[in-house]
Amino acid sequence: MLNFIKNWSLPFTMCLGVLAYIVAHALQLPIEVKDGINEGIKIAQPALLFCMLYISFCKIDFKQLRLRPWHGYLLLVQIGMMGLLSTILHFMPHNNWFIILECMLACFICPTATASVVIVEKLKGNPATLLMYNILINISVALIVPAFIPLFVQNELGFTEAFTSIIKQVFPVIMIPLILARLTNRFLPKLREKITKIKDLACYLWMVALALAMATASRAFAHTDIDLYTLLGIIAITASSCVLQFFVGRRIGKPFGDHISAGQALGQKNTVFVIWLAYTFMDPICAVAGGLYSIWHNTINSIQLYRNGSK
């Protein structure tokens, strides 16, 4: 039983997060308690990601943190799809197909998940090359999304305000632990050695963060009022977008001997960012896309980790 849970820890954690939301909702807690829980999750999620990334970054050889050819190809794919889908939405009437396509756009706009470094490390990929792409795509998203969003959404925020909002949302979680890890490696090598000796610590922290993310996604899903056919369309478009991005990423990275990192870079997404983006700029229904995409990419990660562990 323990081996089964270990091999399929991601689906187990995802189910635990969904179950936690169902139980909390069924208890009919006072609104003050619910607000307190939501505020606690808002604080706990970035704190867990921060610690997890700091531990993972301490293991990285910073000399490998440089541009690779596949970074450029992945940026072209992701930015190209953002531009194409934004242009199509600009000329579409606002109907169910518009919402489904907007959910697809959210899947391509979304930058790489910060937790992808942990998965790549477990899959024996190259965390340094993935981290470099993560920095690049977050900068690109911050610059490009404020330019693309006005094509299909009426929003009162100007470019500068939108840029600042996105930077505040995604950048500190990556850059601050990265800088601290670099300082630790340079000036506190004994501390670094102690941190890196604790096996799978970053992975355990990520499991807790994943459970909280699934509880948040479940809440977004439960509070969305959409008809069945639109929901089925969003399920299909998010699943196909996820599989497509993993496939394209791995194919692009394969000639450069880095298919694991490239696949995760394009396929594993910061779905909490999608939910935030939906409520801030896009149709709130797109928050459902973030929750569904989280299920799909973690399912693919579970299969990859199982195959890697069975070799």
Does 6 score more than 60 pLDDT?
no
Is-contact 53 117, C-beta < 8 A? Answer: yes
Give the whole-angstrom CA distance, residue 111 versus residue 268: 9
Does 156 score more than 80 pLDDT?
no
* pLDDT tens sequence across 55-82: 888 888 777 778 999 999 999 999 999 9
Does 245 score more than 70 pLDDT?
yes
The reported pTM is 0.83
* pLDDT tens sequence across 99-149: 999 999 999 988 898 778 888 988 989 999 998 998 899 888 888 888 788
Q: What is the 3-class SS of the chain, one letter each residue?
A: CHHHHHHCHHHHHHHHHHHHHHHHHHCCCCHHHHHHHHHHHHHHHHHHHHHHHHHHHHCCCHHHCCCCHHHHHHHHHHHHHHHHHHHHHHCCCCCHHHHHHHHHHHHHHCCECCCHHHHHHHCCCCHHHHHHHHHHHHHHHHHHHHHHHHHCCCCCCCHHHHHHHHHHHHHHHHHHHHHHHHHHHHHCHHHHHHHHHCCCHHHHHHHHHHHHHHHHHHHHHHCCCCCHHHHHHHHHHHHHHHHHHHHHHHHHHHHHCCHHHHHHHHHCECHHHHHHHHHHCCCCCHHHHHHHHHHHHHHHHHHHHHHHHHC
The pLDDT score that the predictor gives to residue 105 is 94
Is-contact 91 85, C-beta < 8 A? Answer: no
Is-contact 129 258, C-beta < 8 A? Answer: yes
Q: Which of 18-27, 52-61, 88-97, 152-161 has the lowest mean pLDDT?
A: 152-161
* pLDDT tens sequence across 169-207: 777 777 888 889 889 988 888 888 888 787 777 778 878
In the chain, the percentage of residues whose pLDDT exceeds 70 is 94
The pLDDT score that the predictor gives to residue 310 is 47
Q: Which residue has the higher pLDDT, 65 or 256?
A: 256
